[in-house]
Structure formats: structure tokens, C-alpha cells
Amino acid sequence: MNINAMRARQSRPSVARVYSYVLGGRDNYGVDKNVGDYFMGDLPGSEQLAITNREAVLRAVQSMAADGIRQFIDMGCGLPAEQNVHEVVRRQQPDARVVYVDNDPFVVAHGRALLAVDDGIEMVEGDVSKTSWIREHPAVARLIDFEEPVGLLFAVTLSFLEDEEDPAGVVKYWAAQVPAGSRIYLSHFRSGRTREAVATERKILEAFGHGRWRTDEEIDALFGDLELLEPGVTPCVKWRPVSDATVHELSIWEEMIVSGMARKG
């Protein structure tokens, strides 16, 4: 990346860097901290959007691995975290293969340095809406056997696609690429009418300039004809919690982000 491109990128916030900052990460710029500080300072409790989303993603990955899935594509993976997809998967599937995909060169550079620890892990720079480009990428061709079940992850990623970018079409495309037994997990911002929901949605769209929050019906529709697994589309904090103790009266923030997982029959 040339110096002008780097300065331009540092001048505007990044979804991945803000998300990482809220989770306690250090790989960010001042512009990212400003957005993160707004959420944590002006909208206290809103960090639960990031926290409960990440926890649900890791539970989904663990569930897929327990069902025997040994290869994953993480669309819009973000910056390396305290626990990463390959680490969770390999506790149950030591030979698991993972392709991480993100459209931010900053994220990809860090991911290649910290995540690509062996030949079974690759980091690819790509836009989730460019489905066939990702499908045909050499890293995907090398690591993913599309004759065997695949775990596909879309953690919040589709929230940042406009309707004209056809997020349902993205899911449909990948569902057509993978065989029976594959799993597709997604989480998504849920539209709401509370003051906090309106302020959060407005700030996210103002900061990043694109995306759309969706209703329950619109999020359900993203799965198309796939078999939606229990407990359906539900707030992330209630998606297969590790114990009954984690199920409580939800905060307004926990209500704002939902997730679900489907199986291709």
C-alpha cells in the first residue's frame, strides 16, 4: 500500500478496527478509537453488541466442529482476537483448515502475520459481495474441498451490504457451492425503534458509510430455503448459551444483534 493510500485509510474508521478496539484490541488508529469511545461513553452498554456477537460466533464454530466439520471460510473475519476460529475448531478437529477473508488490507496484513501459523490457514483480501472471485481464489482452491461439508461464517458481515448488493444472493451462492451437511452461520444487526437503537444505527452508518440494519423477517429471509437449526434466529446472547445462567432478561443492546445457523440438507 502506498503512503497516500495508507494515510487515506488512517483518516476514516474501519469496522474491523473499531470492533477490535471495543473488544480490547490495540491495532487501531485515533479515528477508530473516537468511534469506539462514542459507543462506550455516550451509549454505555453498547459494547455488548461486539461482545455477545463474538461469543456466539465461537459457540457456532465449536458446534460445527463437534458435528465433524473440518474446513471453514470466515467471511469478514476482522482482526485477530483472543480466541480465533482456527484455535476453537482445532481443539476438536486438529487438522481443520480455515480461510479467513476480509476486505481491509490492514486486517489482512495483521492476519497473515498472526493467524497464518501453518499451511492449513490462509488469509485472503476480498469483498464478501464478490462471491465468485473468493470461490476461485487459489487459497480457497487449495484448502477447501467442496465435496466435503464446509462451515461458512458471516458474522455481522451482511449488515454492511446494501440491498442492491443482494446479501441473500451471497448466502444463496455459497449454499449452492457446498455439499449437504454444510453449515451457514450469520449474525446481523436488528433494526429497532428505541432511542438507543436509532442512535446506534445512525452512528454506525455515519461512521462507515454503508450497510443496513434489518427486521427479523428480513434476516430470516437471508437463509432462503436452507434448514434453519434450533433455536432459529435469536439474539446472540441466547443462541445456544453454554448454560442456563447466561439466559437473563436482555438489555436493549443484546436485543439489537441476532444470529442463526442453517444446514444444507
- Here the CATH number for the domain that contains residue 117 is 3.40.50.150
* C-alpha closest to that of 186 among 216, 219, 143: 219
- Residue 185, beta-bridge partner list: 153, 261
Is the per-residue pLDDT at 183 higher than 60? Answer: yes
What's this model's pTM, rounded to 2 decimal places?
0.89
- pLDDT at residue 80, rounded to an integer: 79
**How many independent structural domains does the chain possess?**
1
Question: Please, what's the largest Cα pairwise distance for the chain?
Answer: 51
Neighbours of 28 (CB within 10 A): 22
- pLDDT at residue 149, rounded to an integer: 98
- pLDDT at residue 90, rounded to an integer: 96
CA dihedral 229, 232, 235, 236 (to 10 degrees): 10
What is the tens place of the pLDDT at every residue in 186-225?
999 999 878 888 888 888 888 887 888 999 999 999 999 9
Runs of H (alpha helix) within 95-135: 105-114, 131-135
Q: Which residues constitute the domain of residue 68? A: 3-263
State which H helix or E strand residue 9 sits in: helix 3-10
More confident residue, 164 or 243: 164
Amino acid at 46: S
CB 57 within 8 A of CB 68: no
- pLDDT at residue 5, rounded to an integer: 44
Going by pLDDT thresholds of 50, 70 and 90, the confidence category of residue 48 is confident
- pLDDT at residue 14, rounded to an integer: 75
What is the tens place of the pLDDT at every residue in 124-144?
999 999 999 999 999 999 999
